[in-house]
């Protein structure tokens, strides 16, 4: 895999695992409320963290800013899950809500370029636009 950038391999792993959750989440909310589903999702996260804390060397002594950024990450991500469920349960059509939410990387890109001063090539910028369009199209279920 020497011709692939390292980050791409790990991004692909995340993509596959999160992609599978698209199915398992659906199987869960077919049977229980999104709230109960969220709680058990979070319990699994706690289980993973306990296993990690016991088996992998941890680096707890980090700068406070880094600690709070990482904690805020969990809160923001979980909050997004709850708000997306609320959107779906407030009368929004699933394919429209999910397509709309697929725009979230645009916010990341905007922050990355303005706040974190990341630079993009023309090809990468084009790739981002295509990725967003692809995510929207993938959310459109046949009627």
Partner 1 sequence: MLTHLPMSSPTMEPVASRTANIAGLPRWLFFSLLTIVVWGVWGAVSKMASNGIDADTNQVFFTVGLLPLILFVWWSPRTRGGKNRKAGIAWAFLTGILGGTGNIAFFHAFVIGGKASIVTPVTALFPLVTVILAITFLHERIGTAQKFGLVLALVAIYLLSM
Residues 63-122 that bind partner 1 (CB under 8 A): 63, 65-67, 69-92, 94, 97-98, 100-113, 115-116, 118, 120-121
Q: Which residues from 4-23 bind partner 1, rule CB under 8 A?
A: 4-8, 10-23
* Total chain residues near partner 1 (CB under 8 A): 121
End-to-end, the C-alpha distance of the chain in Å comes to 40
Rounded-to-integer distance, Cα 35 and Cα 130, Å: 33
Asked if residue 54 binds partner 1 (CB under 8 A), the reply is no
Alpha helices in the chain (DSSP H): 6-29, 34-55, 64-88, 94-101, 104-114, 122-139
Can residue 2 be called a binding residue for partner 1 (CB under 8 A)?
Answer: no
The least distance separating partner 1 from the CB of residue 2, rounded to whole angstroms, comes to 13
């Amino acid at each position: 895999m020497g011709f692939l950038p390292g980050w791409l391999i790990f991004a692909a792993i995340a993509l596959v695992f999160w992609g599978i959750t698209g199915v398992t989440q659906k199987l869960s909310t077919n049977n229980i409320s999104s709230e109960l589903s969220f709680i058990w999702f979070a319990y699994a996260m706690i289980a993973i963290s306990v296993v990690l804390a016991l088996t992998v060397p941890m680096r707890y002594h980090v700068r406070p800013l880094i600690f709070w950024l990482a904690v805020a990450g969990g809160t923001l991500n979980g909050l997004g899950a709850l708000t997306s469920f609320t959107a779906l349960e407030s009368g929004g059509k699933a394919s429209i809500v999910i397509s709309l939410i697929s725009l979230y990387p645009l916010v990341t890109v905007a922050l990355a370029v303005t706040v974190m001063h990341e630079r993009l090539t023309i090809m990468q910028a084009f790739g981002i636009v295509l990725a967003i369009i692809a995510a929207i199209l993938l959310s459109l279920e046949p009627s």
